[in-house]
Structure 1
């Protein structure tokens, strides 16, 4: 079911809803109240992805970002920034080395740079099961999409999940669900969601499609033309923090018409697309993810600060 609103009306409504969710900065706040985000990822070949997620969350206003990675890659990630808390626990052989931190986190992004080593997938599965037991908001991106396709019952009766696949990763989900990979994306979003337990989906593309609880909305804010790597990492960070903020707001202001998963994911898509556009105007085809990261605070302030 799609919205009957025009594109401009939908944008105004969704972004207006989200602005209410952004925590107000006051003298009474203490460290951690504006968001504590975890990232499970990083591997020998991909150390930058979890960094971009963790740092983007901080640049958007999260107070703390944690990365849980393997011992091999931890020194590299630590060298990128002293602002990120890095735990070299993912391959320790003891799941509790990682999960003991989860009671401090509001949302966990799984998959950026994770790789597809079977032993790491096994460790990640155990970690995710613990996160579910603690009712954590989970964002599945990148390599974790393949992990989910191999374990389709992972989120049965657990809807506190947002998947953020690109077009190729969505085909992996379609195949796992027994759907023709060439089927229309809008028609198949609901089927894929139901197959994987009722999760929300943000399908990335020239237009982003967001599905949640039977509704589909299109985010078509103008984006830059460069498809540099790392933009998906910025998006998964924004989704984790924005959905958490929207979820917290909805708990204090309950309404059956307010879907924090739709509102947070839509606002995240709009933010990253606008940041991409601004950065492409500055750097053209030479833009890289670190250029976008520099612009994230400015675009956020313009779009969402009241």
Structure 2
């Protein structure tokens, strides 16, 4: 019931648009994996805003994406100035993959999250590091979902990572979050939890979180519903790993993305 409908007379604009913001001179591949997740989940248009190194990776590996370049080797507050025109086309935004932890990049991310209150944001990776410097940003927006793993959540929540503390964090900060793990848990701002049981060790690889963030944004761009899209994305990525023809030790985020088609086909048959 959560899968977006696809009318036969649709066009690319029907299925929304995602912007992936991140990347740095060191972490060049992360934004690519988020963009890939957005496309494979059915999104019609994917844009990226990254430093040159990441833009090159995206152009060489995902020519369907529109790759904008920032000014330097990492994102800085001045980069916000060029985004309003891009944002006119965007429904959902992924923030953080590969952005790094430069002081100016942290300032950029916090400024970005407060500059476009009408957009849906999925915050992951270095975006979470930036948020740990100012959690008040979360309570000021109902359109942000965060996707930390245990280590990232510990940094945001004074080292506490148990389920009760996770629920208290989401309610207290009026935010929705996915605590990623072997069985990922989503908690909304009211304290309601959803536990995902799909997946295997093929997801225990670098890049899986980037793929998930793009998948959430891709579904949200089609439906406008951030929380339901996150639930669907958790299931979808886990099931893709289970259905993949690649063995668990050999699998990777980019390969698992290619198995999304198997999940769509399975659910269509059901």
Structure 2 length-normalised TM: 0.90
Q: Is the Cα contact below 8 Å between 2:38 and 2:219 reproduced in 1?
A: no
Deviation digits for residues 167-214 of structure 1 (CA, Å, limit 9, x no counterpart) = 111111112xxxxx2452x21123212343x11111111111011132
Cα deviation, residue 40, structure 1: 0.7
Say if 1:219 and 1:129 are closer, same or farther in 2 by CA, change over 3 A.
same
Q: Which of 86, 106, 109 is the matching residue for 1:101? A: 86
Report the equivalent of 1:277.
242
Q: Cα gap change, 1:301/1:57 in structure 2, threshold over 3 Å: closer, same or farther?
A: farther
**Does residue 122 of structure 1 match 2:104?**
no
Residues 42 and 121 from structure 1, CA distance in 2 versus in 1: closer, same or farther, beyond 3 angstroms? same
RMSD over aligned Cα, in angstroms? 2.1
Question: In the alignment, which residue of structure 2 is the partner of 1:33?
Answer: 14
Which residue, out of 232, 246, 269, partners 2:209? 232
Contact kept in structure 2, 1:71 and 1:91, CA below 8 Å: no
Gaps in structure 1 of 5+ consecutive residues: 1-16, 176-180, 248-259
The separation in 1 between residues aligned to 2:39 and 2:21, in whole angstroms, is 16
C-alpha displacement of 1:50: 0.5
- Secondary structure, counterpart of 2:181 in structure 1: coil
Pick closer, same or farther for the CA change 1:274–1:119 going to 2, 3 Å: same
**Does 2:191 correspond to 1:214?**
yes
On the 8 A contact 1:98/1:127 being kept in 2, the answer is: no
How many aligned residue pairs are there?
265
1:265 alignment counterpart: 230
Is the radius of gyration larger for structure 1 or structure 2?
Answer: 1
Q: How does 1:163-242 map to 2 (within 5 A)?
A: 163-175=146-158, 181-184=159-162, 186-196=163-173, 198-212=174-188, 213-225=190-202, 227-242=204-219
3-state SS, counterpart of residue 13 of structure 2: coil
Aligned residues of 2:187 and 2:194 also touching (Cα < 8 A): yes
With normalisation by structure 1, the TM-score equals 0.80
Describe the SS at the equivalent of 2:24. coil
Shift of 1:91: 4.4
